[in-house]
Amino acid sequence: MSDADFEPWEVDLHGHRVVYRTVGSGPPVVLIHGMVNSSRHWRDVALRLAEDHTVIAPDLIGHGDSATPRGDYSLGAHAAAIRDLLTAIGVESASIVGHSLGGGIAMVFFWQFPQRVERLALISSGGLGHEVSPLLRAAALPGASALLRVAAEPRVLDVLQRIGDRLEVRRPGRGVYLRAIVRALQPLRAPGARAAFLYTLRSVIDIRGQRVSAVDRLYLLDSVPCLIVWGERDRTIPIEHGLAAHEAIPHSHFRTLPRAAHFPHLEDPVGLADALAEFLEATTPHPTDDAEWSGILESRAPPRRRLRTASGSERR
């Protein structure tokens, strides 16, 4: 199977261009990328999974080759756009894999459309704790757009890349983080891409850290097969978030990748693809229907009670 098998396709959703890549045949697996990534970054993982699965990797709105409109870049909006894309291409349910921001989107996709999620895999996922790298917190500050414009200049990126390469030669592992910064800045040369990045970033992160948390509803993943994978060298989101989520999600699986930092699909695609393939092979798809969803909620909800008005009467 060659790179040519992972070529982009295009659909129009609500008047906006949405690009996705697909390869393989078999049960569908959806790969959701994170900020300043795109579907093409899943290539090595997708080509390996495609031996047994139909792999679908969308470019989120504002990312990759998809449109960059001025609009809603919340997790819920991204999740709804993926639902609409899957509907447009005839996929009713799938195993959902999300990296970083994509992990947060994958979880919101499950909260919104549980009947469409057969399995859930979270890769170095956001939304599982407040801590995040200082660089991302700083990028959420006012005025960050001008700094990003300068930082994304080709000459600046070339200098940073050379420094990262030298660090990696002299002290292996030390240049990984700087190389990741260069890789993240490269897609932000276009004004529309920078604006979309900031819209998306500020919907989930502020100067204090991650603003959005799924921790209070991880119990909802009680019945759906769930895998958590983390790079052991991750400096962007602490591995402790993954460990805590593993403890909170009943029957979840947890894997670490020693060679990877925050981008396992780029830093150790073989290790990540093997972890995903083993998980897909070892588990049974379990979409959650409305009756089961209601049962999970009712099992954790306290008894309902009437509220009293200021006059002391009961509100019906």
Active-site residue numbers? Answer: 100, 234, 262
Pairing state of beta strands 205-206 and 209-210?
Answer: antiparallel
Amino acid at 199: Y
Q: Which residue bears the tokens 């919104």?
A: 112
CA 65 to CA 49: how far, in whole Å?
23
d(CA 55, CA 47): 8
**How many Å apart are CA 226 and CA 254, to the nearest integer?**
9
Task: Yes or no: say if 59 and 38 are a contact pair by the CB < 8 Å rule.
Answer: yes
Q: Report how far residue 215's alpha carbon sits from residue 34's, in angstroms, rounded to the nearest whole number.
A: 19
Residue 75 near residue 83, CB atoms below 8 Å: no
